[in-house]
Structure 1
Amino acid sequence: MLLTLPGTPVFNYGDEIGLQDEVCELKVFIKRIPTDPGFFKSVSEKRSKERSLQHGEYLPLFNSTSAMAYVRSWDQNERYIIALNWHSEETVTLQLKHAEIPEHATVVFSTSDGKQVDEVLNLAQLEVKPEQGIMLKFPYTP
């Protein structure tokens, strides 16, 4: 999540490899970052190469106490949708509809085993499992 929001992402030493701080209580969702250091590196590299994630505008699509979804877009570059569910037990189905997003988008990253990279998903029925997140992309269309 921190790598996809506007601004400079700040992490504690060890977050990139899944170390947990036993003294300081971090939010549960942050602790659920996959412990594979390759995942953190892949998302970091994506942010460093994509202008939409570096400088892009932030458009909220959905926000509740247990889930959120938003778009990052910049000029004529690819757009990214980030959907997060930090509820510990319930799967959420987001009905994402907005004039600036298409009906379908392609999976870039997912913390869930059920979503495969390059899989095309219907945004009107986007299912996000408990304590999971997903990044999707779609092209700029004039």
Structure 2
Amino acid sequence: LLFTLPGTPVFSYGDEIGLQAAALPGQPVEAPVMLWNESSLPQSGSVSINMTVKGQHDDPGSLLSLFRRLSDQRGKERSLLHGDFHPLPSSSGLFSYIRHWDQNERFLVVLNFGDMGLTARLGASDLPSIPSLPGKADLLLSTQSGREEGASLELENLKLDPHEGLLLRFPYVA
């Protein structure tokens, strides 16, 4: 979400690998220790190697890989870096918006914050205040595995899994 919004994305230490601060009952929350590799793992064994930077480094489906790809896209695409922000009408648990800049490629972000899958109905629109949506857009990134990158997705009946986020792109049309 933060890499696709206007402004400077700000993250907490360890967000790129899903690191969470541990709280003991009755104790203040302490900053987590970065889990660089196996030697950083706590002795309790409650954390797997997949939660380390080394464990996620070469895994294309890891949170670290998603973080890197989103950061890379933001740096390359003017629409994501400088573009205008246009929220779309959304239902409960769904948040979607368009990012666009001049005559560059447009980006559609669709986020399901709910615990259940849903269908977003984002068909072609000609709303006067926002760039029009096409009938289809190409999938650039998904927070869930199993989606084929580059696939053309129908926006009228776009199915999202629980807690799924999609970054889609479509061309500028004069």
Question: If the length of structure 2 is used for normalisation, what is the TM-score?
Answer: 0.71
Shift of 1:35: 4.3
Aligned residue type for 2:138: T
State the alpha-carbon separation in 2 of the partners of residues 96 and 114 from structure 1.
22
User: Could you tell me whether the CA contact under 8 Å between 1:80 and 1:137 is conserved in 2?
Assistant: yes
CA shift digits 1:14-42 (9 cap, x unpaired): 11121112346xxxxxxxxx743121011
User: Could you tell me whether the CA contact under 8 Å between 1:104 and 1:120 is conserved in 2?
Assistant: yes
State the alpha-carbon separation in 2 of the partners of residues 35 and 18 from structure 1.
10
State the alpha-carbon separation in 1 of the partners of residues 72 and 156 from structure 2.
29
Partner of 2:45: none
User: Could you tell me whether the CA contact under 8 Å between 1:61 and 1:69 is conserved in 2?
Assistant: yes
Partner of 2:150: 118
* Structure 1 stretches of 4+ moved >4 Å: none
Larger radius of gyration: 2
CA shift digits 1:71-110 (9 cap, x unpaired): 000001000000000112x111111132211000000000
Partner of 1:53: 80
Q: Per the alignment, do residues 58 and 103 of structure 1 end up closer, same or farther by CA in structure 2, a change over 3 Å counting?
A: same
In the alignment, structure 1 segments of 5+ residues that lack a partner are 25-33
Secondary structure, aligned partner of 1:113: coil
Q: Does 1:95 align with 2:101?
A: no
Q: Does 1:81 align with 2:108?
A: yes
Partner of 1:106: 138
State the alpha-carbon separation in 1 of the partners of residues 72 and 145 from structure 2.
21
Partner of 1:22: 22
- Equivalent residues, number: 132
Higher strand share: 1
Partner of 2:4: 4
Secondary structure, aligned partner of 1:106: strand
State the alpha-carbon separation in 2 of the partners of residues 69 and 62 from structure 1.
8
Tell me which of the two structures has the higher relative contact order, counting C-alpha pairs closer than 8 angstroms and 6 or more residues apart: 1
Identity score, percent: 42
Partner of 1:68: 95
User: Could you tell me whether the CA contact under 8 Å between 1:84 and 1:134 is conserved in 2?
Assistant: yes
Question: If the length of structure 1 is used for normalisation, what is the TM-score?
Answer: 0.86
State the alpha-carbon separation in 1 of the partners of residues 63 and 134 from structure 2.
32
Secondary structure, aligned partner of 1:117: coil
Alignment RMSD (CA, Å): 1.5
